[in-house]
Structure 1
Amino acid sequence: MPLLPELSDEAVAFDAVAADWRAAVRLAGAGLVRAGAATELYTERMIAVVDDFGPYIVVAPGLALAHARPGKDVRADGLSLVTLAEPVSFGHPHNDPVEIVIGLTSATNDAHVTNVAALANLFNDPAVFPALRAATTPDEARAVFRD
């Protein structure tokens, strides 16, 4: 399986509070910015994707994959993780409410396809979601992404 970008300590937020889906995506974007993978403009593009195309980023029950296409606001491939203290609704008919938001940046189109596919494969394992939900340290979260 292709390796995902490294999840840095700066890109992780546990039991974060978000008033709505936009705030949840902003939390994921802030992790990508702190990790040096993107600028704040990328966060706004991730929100625009949902505004334009709907909540398709809610890829499984309780899980959103916040991302946008590669662009000048992407500095490197990156990954962020936000677990929410209280779930929020993205407006998805089947997979709401969301408890975990993964943020993803990809510097190239090829990396974008590869990273999204790697995350999809990872979450095919039913143990991954509860393991991330239970993680309380960046090391515990990284172990889930690696194993």
Structure 2
Amino acid sequence: MLEEHISVQEILTQVKVKDWQESVRIAGELLYKTGKITRGYIDGMIRTIKELGPYAVIAPGVALPHARPEDGALEVGFSIVVLKDPINFGSPNDPVKVVMAFSAPDKSSHITILQELALLLSNEDFRREIMSAKTPEKVLEIIKAYEKSTTKEAQS
């Protein structure tokens, strides 16, 4: 469950940034401060987007930057930054309002969580609610509510 891998300390809302790089740095700093990554991982996320293009923008208004495990991932981790004003990454899914950084220390430990996240992000209501959340506590509340409803749907 995503909620098991994110805390209020890894969420910021109403954040003003000048560009996509600053948004990725802020999301990475949250993971760094909670011991999930090394500082090098933040540079790895930015380098990867520069090399591969805006692949990280995985849904309308949502970016999921990440880097390779060897760039400094210490644990599975997620951070969420809800921007005050949307920014462009150069993607058809621009502008981005939510930046969700993630880290994984290997190539498989995060697969289940990413599948769940993909399911959540495919829900337009979930995306809209996350984008309009004004506090980290509200973001967590939204995640928990949608995870609960998604779990019920999967069981029935």
In the superposition, the TM-score normalised over structure 1's length comes to 0.90
Q: Which protein shows a greater Rg?
A: 2
Partner secondary structure for residue 123 of structure 2: coil
Preserved contact between residue 8 and residue 35 of structure 1 (Cα < 8 Å): no
Preserved contact between residue 44 and residue 71 of structure 2 (Cα < 8 Å): no
2:101 match = 103
- Gaps of at least 5 residues in structure 2 are 147-156
Q: Going by fraction, where is helix more abundant, 1 or 2?
A: 2
1:63 match = 62
Preserved contact between residue 59 and residue 122 of structure 2 (Cα < 8 Å): no
Distance 1:9 1:60, change over 3 A: same
Preserved contact between residue 18 and residue 84 of structure 1 (Cα < 8 Å): yes
Preserved contact between residue 48 and residue 67 of structure 2 (Cα < 8 Å): yes
2:131 match = 133
Partner secondary structure for residue 110 of structure 1: coil
Partner secondary structure for residue 82 of structure 2: strand
Letter aligned with residue 63 of structure 1: V
Preserved contact between residue 135 and residue 141 of structure 1 (Cα < 8 Å): yes
For the pair 1:89 / 2:88, whether they are aligned, the reply is: yes
Q: Which moved more, 1:104-113 or 1:24-33?
A: 104-113
Identity %: 33
- Gaps of at least 5 residues in structure 1 are none
Number of aligned residues: 144
Letter aligned with residue 34 of structure 2: A
Shift of 1:140: 1.8
CA RMSD in angstroms comes to 1.5
Preserved contact between residue 61 and residue 93 of structure 2 (Cα < 8 Å): yes
For the pair 1:116 / 2:120, whether they are aligned, the reply is: no
> Aligned partners of 2:71 and 2:22: how far apart in 1?
23
1:51 match = 50
Preserved contact between residue 55 and residue 91 of structure 1 (Cα < 8 Å): yes
Any idea what the Cα deviations from partners look like across 1:86-138, whole Å, max 9, x if unmatched?
1111011x111111100111122112333322211111111111111222232
Shift of 1:72: 5.7
> Aligned partners of 1:72 and 1:48: how far apart in 2?
10
Partner secondary structure for residue 109 of structure 1: coil
